[in-house]
Structures are given as C-alpha cells and as structure tokens.
Amino acid sequence: MTTKVEIKMLNPGNKFVYGNKESIVLDNMEDGVLCMVMDESYKCDFDRDNHNNFAESTLRTKLNADYMKHWIEEEANFRDFVEMEVDLTTDDGLCDYDVCITYLAPRTCEQHRQYRKIIPSINGINDWEWTATACSTKSNGYSSVRAVNSDGSFGYGTANIVTIVRPTFKLKLDTEVEVESSQTVDSDADKTKTSLIDSMQNLVDQYGFPEVMETLAKVIAG
C-alpha cells in the first residue's frame, strides 16, 4: 500500500515513485531534493560522435528532450524539476569542461563516491552505467568516460558505446511522491527538532557549554 508525501519529508536512501519511475533520495538540499532514477531499462550512447564532454553530448540532449518528454507523459510535472549544476571536472582533475546546468544527468564520479552506500547496484553481472565524468579531456587526447560497474567499482568506456543510464534529478521540496506506507519518513517537527539540536551543538562547540547555558537562561528569563 502506498501513500503520498511531500518529498522534503524523505531521507537519503528512501525510495519513492514519481511519474511512474521508481527512484531514490540522495540528498536534501536548500533548493530541492537530489534524487536518482533506479530503472535500468534506458540505454544510450554518451555521444554518437565520440566526444566526452557531457555538456555537448548526445546523452544530455536525449535525457533532457526525449526522456523528459516521455516522463511528463507518464504524469511527471516539468514544473516540479529544479535545474542542477553538474561539475564536469574530469577524473584526472582537469576543469576544461567547467559545469553544466541541466535538469537530468548521470551522477558524477564524485557523487558516486559520496552516495555509494545508498545507491543500489545495477542487477546484471556484466552490465555497467554511464557517469557524467570524462576520464580526461579531448585536448588531452581522450574520448573515454568513467562508468560504474555492477559491483559499484569504476570502469570506463569510449563515448560512442550504448549502455545503461540512471539519471539524477532534483525536485522542488513540496513535490508530492508516492512511498510505501511502511516506510519511515520524518515529520516537520522531527526535522525542526534535529535542526535545533544541531544549532545548539554548533553554539556549544564555538562558545562552550557554560556560556551557552548562561545566555539561554537570560533569554528564558526575559
């Protein structure tokens, strides 16, 4: 049995359905919730001309046109999406490709490292999926792109190969999604309580417990 909740109520690692696509929460941010589609059925080349800059790739075009159009036809609402800034620093640290502003993109290598513990692996033993991160730049003689293997390790492929893509996306905080009724979600009160506790801890770390308690007592006393 499922129920509808605003996505801001979910925690990293929580699974949900939006526009008939099963997805997972990666991170809660000020401007929206970063998520990733879990469906493995979509496959695409990174770039038909074998270029490895995601900002100029076939994959970016297809994700943000055909894929998005189909998703909207399946009851996603384009107004729910928030543009993302994707860091296209290459795996060897070059910044030629800068950043890309887009609605849909594979996760970067850095995002894979950051969220690996909660990202489900793909099912096929010999399957792999694209990241948005190039191994190095075209000016450095490379056309390869980092990929993620079924065991979560990094691999690579030349950009003109067709393989699995599980795009990341960001939704507005008040977007309604479907979750299993048994799945635990935080209430607004829980999130507020956690925020207050974190703020108090930061004050204690900065000023010391006695001074914070003395100031708090004065505030309460008026």
CA distances from 34 to 7, 84, 135, 155 (A): 10, 9, 24, 24
- The secondary element (H helix, E strand) that includes residue 158 is strand 154-158
Handedness of CA 50, 55, 58, 59 (dihedral sign): positive
Three-class secondary structure of residue 166 per DSSP:
coil
Q: What is the pLDDT of residues 13-67, one digit of tens each?
A: 999 999 999 999 999 999 999 999 999 999 999 999 999 999 999 999 999 999 9
Residue 192 pLDDT more than 80?
A: no
Residue 193 pLDDT more than 50?
A: no
Please give the pLDDT value at position 190. Answer: 52
Q: What is the pLDDT of residues 100-157, one digit of tens each?
A: 999 999 999 999 999 999 999 998 878 999 999 999 999 999 999 999 999 999 999 9
Three-class secondary structure of residue 75 per DSSP:
coil
Spatial CA neighbour of 200 closest among 185, 182, 212: 212
Three-class secondary structure of residue 7 per DSSP:
helix
Confidence of residue 200 (pLDDT cuts 50, 70, 90): low
Please give the pLDDT value at position 194. Answer: 47
Confidence of residue 180 (pLDDT cuts 50, 70, 90): very high
Domain locations along the chain: 2-180, 188-221
